[in-house]
Structure 1
């Protein structure tokens, strides 16, 4: 036991935050890797005219993630955050390797890969839910706000890493290129596993299990001022007690009661709009988009994902700089408006000037990604973390996450089907209209949360509920 204590004592807060962030890199890598692998996979398995199969192969991970996040949340309350992160890393490693060694059996190969990637998605969804939760429970209260921006930076850094790997492997024989791209996703999962092996369990989970001595010991590793430990332990106990009482008094129907309906619709709506606005269509299919616009082979357009990745990383850093300088609603509405115009204008220009430069659409896509990267991408989860009252926070956050993954899955699935049946400009114009609808939704249905306490935000929902009750025709 003394050896264990000494080993844990050496763990620095920087080490803990690094591997919390590394979970974001793992998540981002898997989001981005299919972007480069898909053109080679299509050529190797002759799927150029199989839009539905391409959509399913690409979106299968998001479909699995819908269930992975919810399942991991429940299991982590029973077995602990740390153990479930380790389990997720193992599942991620196994199914990344199985993706890379997919057998070549004709059309059956596609179904094999879809199933394997769905199972991989369980780990992706789990990691996306577990790692930020673990980090928020380990970090001091004053650092939790910045961690949401840091997590977004690590996710897009993981995406950029996958784009670079794809580019470096593009000159290999086609069947080897896509297999290595998918299989190498096991490497960051292995690094995460080895890192988390050295991490302690979160104090919050330890207190839930009645192990106050160990919780105190863990806090002593990551808090500089010993006087703060007793205060934090008391605060954790009080919050856990309130959450337990809240869970006993609430059900799924509570989410849509008059008092909470306004805030639930606002939080879940923003989470859903973030995906239905079409960002993942760019992230997953940019080489194919450029191919359709220019006629150049998709496998020769793997520099464009790197350009998108660099924009995403820079945008995430811009967000960390401006996060507390502008209202949430302002950033979401400005970002959504520019994103919508970036999708709609190419269709308008193409209608007015049928011979426009085909790269025009790609330039507008870069503008879209830039504004998405410092508005809707990070702010969605900041707002979801702030908007739900304690009594419904667990269920409402889970519902928002599920709608977000459903949107991600549907966009990945239907985009190749849509572009196979209509011009690309028209497809993006549809997403542009959704962006504008998102702006209208934020203006009419989402309260401002910056600078407001959780109690003040809850009061806004309560007041809105009273207004609706007194004016039922509205």
Structure 2
């Protein structure tokens, strides 16, 4: 059952990835269909992360008030509406508004889906199951790149395809149960016990229920945003928000949104060659996310972050150096280094912030904490996406990718100084150790 939960909730990740990546293939034909000023093009492209910023603001509250399941049903509905309106857009402003609605759905789902999966997943498999959300994002990005190549010039078809998984998500979630922890928060203990049984805990269900009961009994009745900055919770807030800021400053969404432009700057001449190279990026993204899922519960969160940040920094530095030297084979070096960068990102920097934000917050502030972390994610996502074309014109490929490499080096230091090892620990155990005053950094591997 937990695998079915992860697959259905992961549909929101597929939509997230598809609606982020589809603009890469559609942008060329959109420029021919509509009159874009540089400012309007930037607003249209950044509408998804900008909308997601506001979706994240509401996501924690909705996931708490309506349930994780209810929030995902709403997200699926918004995805479907946004896809239909995007495909029927009559000018740049209507397309921007539709993509803003899609962004709201993405921001809402980005809080609710990892929360729904983590609160249903057994501790020993939580890393892999929550990482399924990131896998779904990469599959969505790859699907968008393939659609961009297969339907080149037909941007309406590209956008309309996004309606199908949105409808499936809304209908499928309507058939699912909510998480045991949310049900217990609402006093629905019998339903919570049934949910634990369906999640495969069997004889362990009663012990798990007792742990949830104790955790809830020890939490305040009302929670404010200010609680995220209390002495008890601030270490978790710092880690969750910091990892998302560093994830975005690594430059991933500059590559995802503007991959054909990056390849053009790197010397790929034809638009078809740029799209094919972009599909190669999508394939590596999916493949290495699968590798991450296989390893994440085995070798530990911290070690994975070291590998990801260090590998990404090295790959980005090579791209910056190659661009500065104007090598005649720049396109080959850039393509190989970008593949290495995507591999490092997908195995670590991509999935781990989503996983860790769903693990390290106490139950009373978990939806709000995940909402704040998602807000940081989308704010810096929108900033990088909006600023990338201008920065590329100002400092070139060398300067932009050197800046991304420096951010990844900061990620190595941040991991060493602040990030805990939560592999194998139950959510209740993580919360107890945080509440005891133990430094998160001092948490060691449980299993």
TM bucket, shorter chain: 0.7 to 0.9
What is the 5 A alignment of 1:49-448? 50-103=37-90, 109-170=91-152, 174=153, 177-223=154-200, 225=202, 227-243=203-219, 245=220, 248=222, 251-258=224-231, 260-294=233-267, 296-298=269-271, 300-353=273-326, 355-389=328-362, 392-448=365-421
Structure 1 residue 114 displacement after superposition: 1.8
1:47-82: CA deviation from partner (whole Å, max 9, x where unpaired): 4xx433322212211111112133132123222332
State the secondary structure of the residue aligned to 2:266: helix
User: In 2, distance between residues paired with 1:202 and 1:381?
Assistant: 18
Question: Which blocks of at least 5 consecutive residues in structure 1 are unaligned?
Answer: 1-11, 104-108, 465-474
> How well do the aligned residues superpose, as a CA RMSD in angstroms?
2.9
Asked whether the 8 Å contact 2:25–2:148 carries over to 1, the reply is yes
Structure 1 residue 272 displacement after superposition: 0.9
Structure 1's 314 and 388: CA in aligned 2 closer, same or farther, altered over 3 A? same
Q: TM-score, normalised by structure 2?
A: 0.87
Q: Which range moves more in the overlay, 428-437 or 441-450?
A: 441-450
1:122-150: CA deviation from partner (whole Å, max 9, x where unpaired): 11111222222223333344432321222
Structure 1 residue 253 displacement after superposition: 4.1
Structure 1's 143 and 54: CA in aligned 2 closer, same or farther, altered over 3 A? same
Structure 1's 149 and 195: CA in aligned 2 closer, same or farther, altered over 3 A? same
Q: Which range moves more in the overlay, 64-73 or 320-329?
A: 320-329
Asked whether the 8 Å contact 1:22–1:192 carries over to 2, the reply is yes
What is the 5 A alignment of 1:441-460? 441-450=414-423, 454=430, 455-456=432-433
User: In 1, distance between residues paired with 2:186 and 2:45?
Assistant: 40
4+ residue runs over 6 A deviation: none
Asked whether the 8 Å contact 1:287–1:299 carries over to 2, the reply is no
Structure 1's 282 and 257: CA in aligned 2 closer, same or farther, altered over 3 A? same
Asked whether the 8 Å contact 2:21–2:257 carries over to 1, the reply is yes
Report what 1:6 is aligned to: none
Structure 1's 224 and 379: CA in aligned 2 closer, same or farther, altered over 3 A? closer
Structure 1 residue 337 displacement after superposition: 2.4
Structure 1 residue 217 displacement after superposition: 4.2
Structure 1 residue 384 displacement after superposition: 2.8
Q: TM-score, normalised by structure 1?
A: 0.83
Structure 1's 60 and 463: CA in aligned 2 closer, same or farther, altered over 3 A? closer
Question: Which blocks of at least 5 consecutive residues in structure 2 are unaligned?
Answer: 442-447
Asked whether the 8 Å contact 1:272–1:403 carries over to 2, the reply is yes
User: In 2, distance between residues paired with 1:262 and 1:219?
Assistant: 30
Structure 1 residue 156 displacement after superposition: 1.2
Report what 1:8 is aligned to: none
Report what 2:17 is aligned to: 28
Q: Which range moves more in the overlay, 183-192 or 393-402?
A: 393-402
